[in-house]
C-alpha cells in the first residue's frame, strides 16, 4: 500500500505552518548538545519520548510540514514523492535506538503521532506506547475492542469498517463475537482513542524529562503533551530541524537529523542499537518480542451483523476468503480493558 495515507483523509483547511526553513547545528554544537542530552537522560527517573513524522523520513516516508513534506507540497500544488510502501518500510536508526533505550530501562513511555506502524513493527512494547493517531496495521472490533495487528497495511481510514469481523470466541459453546472491525487511523475530526490519550497524559505528568523527536508540535492535543511535563517541574528537550511551537519552553534544542542525534546519544550512554530482524510484535515490556507471522485460520460462520457505534476526534492476517483468523498472540489493547490479539494476513 502507498504511504500516501494523507490522500485518504478528508479535506481540512488548517494544517498548520508548513515549509519553515531548516536549521543545522555545527558539528561542535551538535556534539556538545548531545552530551547535555545524555546527561539529562542519565539523571532522569522517568523519560518520556514524543515522536513525530521526522523520525521516519530516513525510511522513505515523507513528513508533513518539512520543505518536501506532504502538506508543504500540497500548498504549492505539487505532489509528494514516496520511496517505499508501508509494508516495505524498515524501522530507522531512531526507531531501533528507542527500543534500545526502553530495554535498558532509560525510556519509560513512548507517545507517537505516527501512523506508519514502525514502532510496533520494531518490537517496541505496546503497553508502554500510545499511538494517538492510529496505526496502519491495526484494526479493532467495534463491539468487544479486540485489536488485530496485521502483516499488511489496512486499506481504509477514518475509523471506517474494513469489511472483516471479529473472530473472538467468548467462551466454550458460544458463538464468536462477530463485531465489525474498523481501521484505527483517525481522520481530522475523529476523537483520539481514550485509553491511549489517558495513558499519554498520565505519563507526561509523571515524566521528569520529555524528549520530542521529529515533530513541530503543532497538532493538538498531542503537541501540547510535553507541556504537562514542564508544568510539573520537568524538563523539555526538542530535536527538530525546523522551529517548533514550544521552543521557548525547551531546556535544550537540538537542530540535526534525529538519526545522527540518536547514534551519538546511544554511544555516549554506552548502549547498543538493536538490529532489526524483521517485523516483530511485543505484547508487554516484560515479554519477549514475537515474529509477526500468520496464525492458524478458523472457519468463519455467517451470523447476523451487530450494530456499530461511531466516534469522533478533536484536533488544532486475513485469509484468502476474507475471514478473520484464530487468536495467536495476545497484545495489550489501547482503549478498554478487553483483550487484544495478534492477527496477520496471508
Instruction: Give how far the C-alpha of residue 293 lies from the chain's centroid of Cα atoms, to the nearest Å.
Output: 20
Give CA–CA dist 44/42, Å, rounded: 6
List all residues 6 or more positions away from 248 whose beta carbon is below 8 Å from its beta carbon: none
Give CA–CA dist 213/147, Å, rounded: 27
Any alpha helices (H) in the chain, and if so which ranges? 27-43, 70-75, 93-103, 118-121, 194-206, 225-231, 258-269
Q: Could you give the 3-state DSSP secondary structure of residue 161?
A: strand
Contact 119, 98 (CB under 8 A): yes
Active-site pick, 50, 95, 119, 133? 133
Active site annotation includes 246: no
Q: Assign residue 178 a region: left if phi > 0, alpha if psi is -120 to 50, beta otherwise?
A: left
The grid coordinates of residue 187 equal 481522520
Contact 65, 216 (CB under 8 A): yes
Distances (CA, A) of 150 to 145, 260, 339, 341: 16, 31, 16, 10
Contact 130, 162 (CB under 8 A): no
Q: Supply the residues annotated as catalytic.
A: 133
Amino acid at each position: 500500500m502507498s504511504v500516501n495515507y494523507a490522500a485518504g483523509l478528508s479535506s481540512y483547511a488548517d494544517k498548520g505552518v508548513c515549509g519553515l526553513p531548516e536549521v543545522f547545528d555545527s558539528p561542535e554544537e551538535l556534539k556538545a548538545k548531545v552530551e547535555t542530552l545524555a546527561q539529562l537522560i542519565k539523571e532522569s527517573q522517568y523519560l518520556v519520548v514524543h515522536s513525530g513524522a521526522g523520525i521516519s523520513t530516513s525510511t522513505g516516508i515523507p513528513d508533513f510540514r518539512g520543505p518536501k513534506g506532504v502538506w508543504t507540497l500540497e500548498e504549492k500544488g505539487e505532489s509528494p514523492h514516496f520511496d517505499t510502501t508501508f509494508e516495505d518500510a524498515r524501522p530507522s536508526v531512531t526507531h531501533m535506538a528507542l527500543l534500545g533505550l526502553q530495554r535498558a530501562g532509560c525510556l519509560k513511555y513512548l507517545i507517537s503521532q505516527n501512523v506508519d506502524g514502525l514502532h510496533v513493527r520494531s518490537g517496541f512494547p505496546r503497553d508502554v506506547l500510545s499511538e494517538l493517531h492510529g496505526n496502519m496495521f491495526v484494526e479493532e472490533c467495534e463491539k468487544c475492542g479486540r485489536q488485530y495487528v496485521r502483516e499488511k497495511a489496512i486499506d481504509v481510514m477514518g475509523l471506517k469498517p474494513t469489511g472483516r469481523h471479529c473472530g473472538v470466541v467468548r467462551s466454550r459453546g458460544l458463538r464468536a463475537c462477530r463485531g465489525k472491525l474498523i481501521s484505527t487511523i483517525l481522520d481530522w475530526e475523529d476523537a483520539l482513542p481514550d485509553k491511549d490519550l489517558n495513558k499519554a497524559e498520565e505519563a507526561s505528568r509523571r515524566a521528569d524529562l520529555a524528549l520530542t523527536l521529529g515533530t513541530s508540535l503543532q497538532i493538538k492535543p498531542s503537541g501540547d503533551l510535553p507541556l504537562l511535563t514542564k508544568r510539573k517541574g520537568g524538563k523539555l528537550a526538542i530535536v527538530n530541524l525546523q522551529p517548533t511551537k514550544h521552543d521557548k519552553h525547551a531546556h535544550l534544542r537540538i537542530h540535526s537529523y534525529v538519526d545522527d542525534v540518536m547514534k551519538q546519544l546511544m554511544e555516549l550512554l554506552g548502549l547498543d542499537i538493536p538490529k532489526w530482524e524483521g517485523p516483530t510484535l511485543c505484547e508487554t515490556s516484560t515479554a519477549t518480542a514475537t515474529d509477526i507471522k500468520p496464525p492458524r485460520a478458523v472457519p468463519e460462520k455467517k451470523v447476523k451483523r451487530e450494530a456499530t457505534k461511531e466516534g469522533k476526534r478533536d484536533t488544532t492476517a486475513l485469509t484468502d476468503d476474507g475471514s478473520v483468523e484464530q487468536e495467536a498472540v495476545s497484545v495489550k489493547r489501547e482503549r478498554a480493558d478487553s483483550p487484544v490479539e495478534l492477527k496477520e494476513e496471508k
